[in-house]
Amino acid sequence: MIRRAMMFLFLLLALQSPAAAHGGVVEEDDICVIKVNYLRAHFKIYQPRVSGHEQFCEDLPAAAESVFVMEFMHDALQTMPIDFRIIRDATGKGRFARMDDVEKIDDLDAATVFYQPAMLEPDVYSIIHTFENEGDFIGIVSARNLDNGEIYAAVFPFEVGFTGWGYWPFIIGLLVLIQIQYLAMSGRLRRWFTKAPPVVLVLGALLLQMPHSASAAEFIVTYSTPEGPPEINRMHSWILRVETESGDAVEGAEIEVDGGMPAHDHGLPTRPKVTEELGDGYYRLDGVRFHMSGYWEIVIQIKSDEAEETVVVALTL
């Protein structure tokens, strides 16, 4: 039953992960970048009336006045007339929509909610549009090369009224149920509740409300965040617990931590390090920070006298 649940979970993750990889906007070194063919520009969106100075790459939290800004990274964009169009998603492809799908729309004007005719801008291109309704949209940026008449385009599907949850509540709940079932079947849950003091029992019950474990062939890793649930752009620490499948604490291990967002193809913004071994298989991990919401993977490499293994902790913020 556990194997079947894990296979189903893997399938969901496989289907979910590509959905975060939108069209022409990617994140590089904490900066959103739009790729118009081989040309690039820093890309950011503001909703000053509802989110102040907070910047967004694509998905927007509310239907409100939105300011789209492109700061050119290639001087060639300064010499190209650029037009900007926002359409309702009429492709049926959602986040997988590409320019080929947009070109198949019979009446593009009917699907258009905003259009800025082509214009030349010296350094920064910006437009303002107020969304009246939430929903799925597609942004289209087109730049025309005056030397050869070629059109370069970037397409980025995005959502207005973005919640960031999708299938993740179900996936997280499934992960928790799998972990609880494993602990119950192995007898460790009963032994733990028998031996743990009352305060630890209360803390353990609270921690079960969040995804906090991962396992590999040799090791099982659980973690807690003493300073509260992880928050975006806040440096915090983890307490790692490393044990074998039989429940024995792994002490004296060498632990290295890496990770990132697979869907966005970038790593962690910091370099977390284990700064202290607390005993009985517990280790303190400092320097953890997440700079955007979405699906993250924390890759923990563990090397002990008995074995060497890599454990992946999956979490969504």
The CATH number covering residue 265 comes to 2.60.40.10
Same structural domain, 234 and 311: yes
pLDDT of residue 29: 60
Same structural domain, 209 and 309: yes
Please report, as a single letter, which amino acid is at residue 157: P
Same structural domain, 201 and 286: yes
CA 95-14-31 angle, 5° bins = 55
- Residue at 10 is within a domain: no
- Residue at 272 is within a domain: yes
CA 103-109-110 angle, 5° bins = 105
Q: What is the pTM (predicted TM-score) of this model?
A: 0.48
Distances (CA, A) of 241 to 37, 120, 212, 227, 246: 47, 57, 10, 16, 14
pLDDT of residue 217: 53
Query: Is 292 in contact with 303 (CB distance < 8 Å)?
Result: no
Residue by residue, pLDDT tens for the chain (317 residues) are 445 555 555 555 544 433 333 446 776 665 789 999 889 999 999 999 898 888 898 899 999 999 999 999 999 999 999 999 999 999 988 888 999 999 999 999 999 999 999 999 988 899 999 999 999 999 999 999 999 999 999 999 999 997 555 556 667 777 777 777 666 665 565 555 555 454 444 444 444 344 455 655 578 899 999 888 888 888 999 999 999 888 899 999 999 999 998 877 788 999 999 999 999 999 999 999 999 888 888 999 999 988 888 888 888 88
pLDDT of residue 175: 78
pLDDT of residue 17: 39
pLDDT of residue 82: 96
pLDDT of residue 188: 61
pLDDT of residue 18: 37
Same structural domain, 85 and 208: no
Taking the C-alpha atoms of residue 235 and residue 137, their distance in angstroms, rounded to an integer, is 34
How many domains are contained in the chain?
2
- Residue at 210 is within a domain: yes
Same structural domain, 173 and 248: yes
- Residue at 227 is within a domain: yes
Looking at 143, 160, 177, the residue that finishes a domain is 160
Same structural domain, 55 and 72: yes
pLDDT of residue 301: 92
- Provide the residue range defining the domain that includes 192: 168-316
pLDDT of residue 178: 76
Same structural domain, 305 and 261: yes
pLDDT of residue 20: 36
Total Cβ atoms within 10 A of residue 180: 13
pLDDT of residue 206: 46
